[in-house]
């Protein structure tokens, strides 16, 4: 029985995404840092600015995940001044799970 549990745990770890537990690495791999920084505005808003703007907003996660997946038009257009998130056709592909992990990480700042 012990071997089965150890094997299951081992293969469970192998099945986890490479970024599990290190979302900052995921943000770098997906080139989010090309436009965003952790704590200062660049081309796009700083992740800390995003967290502050949406703190306490119950709809923030869903809206921001949609923005990451589809670009700004999916969230009703501009939502950060005149800056907008480009559509996925011109940037790295991000899965729904990756988008949720990124947004949860940002909102926790």
Alpha carbon distance 97, 4 (integer Å): 28
Q: Which of 106, 16, 37 is nearest to 65 (CA)?
A: 106
16 in a known ligand binding site? no
Alpha carbon distance 21, 38 (integer Å): 17
SS3 83: strand
36 in a known ligand binding site? yes
85 in a known ligand binding site? yes
- Binding positions are 32, 36, 85
- Binding positions for heme c are 32, 36, 85
């Amino acid at each position: 029985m012990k071997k089965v549990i150890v094997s299951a745990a081992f293969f469970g770890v192998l099945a986890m995404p490479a970024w599990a537990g290190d979302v900052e690495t995921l943000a770098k791999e997906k080139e989010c840092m090309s436009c965003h920084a952790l704590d200062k505005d660049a081309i796009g808003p700083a992740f800390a600015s995003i967290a502050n703007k949406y703190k306490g907003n119950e709809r923030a996660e869903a809206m921001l995940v949609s923005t990451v997946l589809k670009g700004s038009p999916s969230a009703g257009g501009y939502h950060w001044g005149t800056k907008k998130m480009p559509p996925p056709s011109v940037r790295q592909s991000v899965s729904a799970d990756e988008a949720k992990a990124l947004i949860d990480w940002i909102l926790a700042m």
